[in-house]
């Protein structure tokens, strides 16, 4: 039996004149995702895209698994292609979906008939196919409201397709349709979730990670790379910069009042990230901050970090509880990696009593104590290590 994958694009349908461009980007992203699996042909139709394996030995389970992580897809399904002869169609439905139909208790048949010349109308296709399936599977009864399995028969120009239940797609917008942004990535739970959430809106990612050896270890850095690889399954390639942060953190420790350590460190992280992001054609930054989570995430502290840069800072986790963030991190499979206990530079030299209501004038005054800050930042950027994550 010849199988294909049918893709239903989601929000794309709303995009009016841009729709074609958006669909082209979606197809490009799907091609990239499948490129090392074999050769596929892509055909665009009305709100569906057909992915047709050209080689015979392609692993379609793997293809479906990969495509289920491509943003811009609302639903997808494997479908069997058959001749436009009703006797063949109903027989194919029963044979192709045999295992699923044997396991189900209830089913219904839906028909889509874009070839209006096909002799049977949709209600007849449903009735006849349903009757045939009932005669073959005595475990089944029809339930039109909440069936275990929906058997769909589509009659198109050249062929008919038969398929079972849809698989939920990753939703969102195709990566690359909403510009680029730089994610400040730590090894924690929140920032990979923030990266995923903005990528879901079509944003292409570049990443910045600050490392402070010897206070932070090689293993901590490897953990961040592992997290980014998991995010990249959804977002596609992430150009990543690992910025050496030790000298700057030591300067903060030696020169600034202790209560401002964290807030100044966060501001400098933002300033360096902004420079790298602009260089990478990004127009915004992303962080995993959430109001009230720690002292540096009160609205007063966030106001002080925000004004360190001149590009927008997106914080998609801002109003979420930790539980809600964890639910997403489990869904995208980053949670187990995130909870591995390696230190982050944010936990180096943490003050005993950080200011929770810092005033920007005091912060700026404290920050000025680091006279050679510009040079230190330039140095850190020059010595950053570039890693391409795919």
Contact residues toward Mg ion (CB under 5 A) are 186, 188, 344
Residue 209: contacted member of Mg ion, ligand ATP, none (CB under 5 to 8 Å, by partner type): ligand ATP
Q: Report how many residues bind ligand ATP under the rule CB under 6 A.
A: 20
Instruction: Choose which of 164, 344, 367, 384 interacts with ligand ATP (CB under 6 A).
Output: 344
Residue 287 makes contact with ligand ATP by CB under 6 A: yes
3-class secondary-structure state, position 48: strand
What is the closest distance, in whole angstroms, from the C-beta atom of residue 242 to ligand ATP in the complex?
9
For CA atoms 310, 312, 318, 319, give the dihedral sign.
positive
- Of the pair 246, 369, the CB lying nearest ligand ATP is at 246
- Per CB under 6 A, the segment of 33-41, 119-127, 170-178, 282-290 that binds ligand ATP is 282-290
End-to-end CA distance of the chain: 34
Minimum CB distance to Mg ion, residue 187 (Å) = 7
Minimum separation from the CB atom of position 188 to Mg ion (A): 3
Phi (first) and psi of residue 329, to 5 degrees: -65, -30
Q: Residue 128 interacts with ligand ATP (CB under 6 A)?
A: no
Q: CA of 226: how far to CAs of 157, 204, 334, in Å?
A: 46, 18, 9
3-class secondary-structure state, position 163: strand
Complex with Mg ion: residue 34 or 193, whichever CB lies closer: 193
As a whole number of angstroms, the distance between CA 326 and CA 116 comes to 49
**Backbone angle region of 155, left / alpha / beta, with phi > 0 → left and psi within -120 to 50 → alpha:** beta
Contacts of ligand ATP in 65-104 (CB under 6 A): none
Q: Which is nearer to ligand ATP, 77 or 296 (by Cβ)?
A: 296
| Cα gap 350→296, rounded to integer Å | 11
Q: Is residue 351 packed enough to be buried (19+ CB in 10 Å), middle (13-18) or exposed (0-12)?
A: middle
Cα separation, 222 vs 110, whole angstroms: 49
Residues 143-202 that bind ligand ATP (CB under 6 A): 184-186, 188-191
Residue 129 touching ligand ATP (CB under 6 A): no
- The residues of the shown chain that bind ligand ATP, judged by CB under 6 A, are 184-186, 188-191, 208-210, 269, 287-289, 293-294, 296, 344-346
């Amino acid at each position: 039996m010849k199988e294909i994958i049918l893709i239903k694009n989601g929000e794309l349908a709303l995009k009016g004149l841009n729709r074609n461009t958006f669909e082209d980007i979606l197809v490009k992203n799907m091609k990239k995702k499948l490129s090392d699996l074999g050769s596929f042909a892509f055909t665009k139709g009305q709100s569906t895209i057909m992915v047709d394996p050209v080689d015979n030995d392609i692993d379609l389970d793997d293809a479906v698994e990969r495509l289920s992580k491509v943003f811009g897809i609302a639903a997808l399904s494997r479908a069997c292609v058959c001749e436009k002869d009703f006797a063949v169609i109903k027989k194919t439905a029963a044979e192709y979906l045999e295992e699923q139909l044997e396991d189900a208790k209830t089913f219904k048949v839906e028909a889509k008939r874009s070839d209006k010349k096909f002799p049977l109308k949709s209600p007849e296709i449903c009735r006849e196919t349903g009757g045939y399936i009932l005669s073959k599977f005595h475990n089944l009864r029809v339930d039109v409201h909440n069936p275990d399995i929906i058997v769909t028969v589509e009659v198109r120009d050249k062929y008919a397709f038969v398929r079972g239940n849809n698989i939920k797609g990753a939703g969102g917008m195709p990566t690359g349709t909403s510009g680029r942004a730089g994610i400040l990535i730590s090894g924690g739970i929140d920032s990979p979730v923030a990266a995923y959430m903005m990528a879901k809106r079509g944003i292409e990612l570049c990443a910045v990670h600050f490392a402070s050896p010897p206070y932070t270890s090689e293993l901590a850095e490897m953990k961040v790379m592992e997290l980014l690889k998991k995010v990249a399954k959804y977002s596609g390639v992430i150009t990543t910069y690992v910025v050496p942060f030790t000298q700057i953190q030591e300067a903060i420790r030696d020169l600034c009042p202790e209560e401002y350590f964290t807030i100044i460190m966060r501001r400098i992280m933002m300033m360096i990230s902004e420079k790298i992001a602009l260089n990478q054609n990004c127009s915004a930054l992303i962080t995993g901050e959430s109001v009230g989570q720690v002292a540096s995430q009160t609205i007063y502290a966030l106001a002080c970090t925000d004004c360190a840069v001149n590009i927008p800072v997106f914080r998609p986790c801002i109003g979420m509880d930790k539980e809600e963030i964890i639910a997403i991190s489990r869904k995208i499979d980053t949670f187990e990696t995130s909870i591995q206990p390696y230190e982050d530079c944010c936990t180096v030299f943490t003050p005993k009593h950080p200011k929770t209501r810092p005033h920007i004038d005091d912060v700026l005054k404290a920050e000025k104590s680091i006279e050679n800050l510009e040079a230190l930042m330039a140095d850190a950027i020059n010595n950053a290590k570039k890693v391409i994550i795919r």
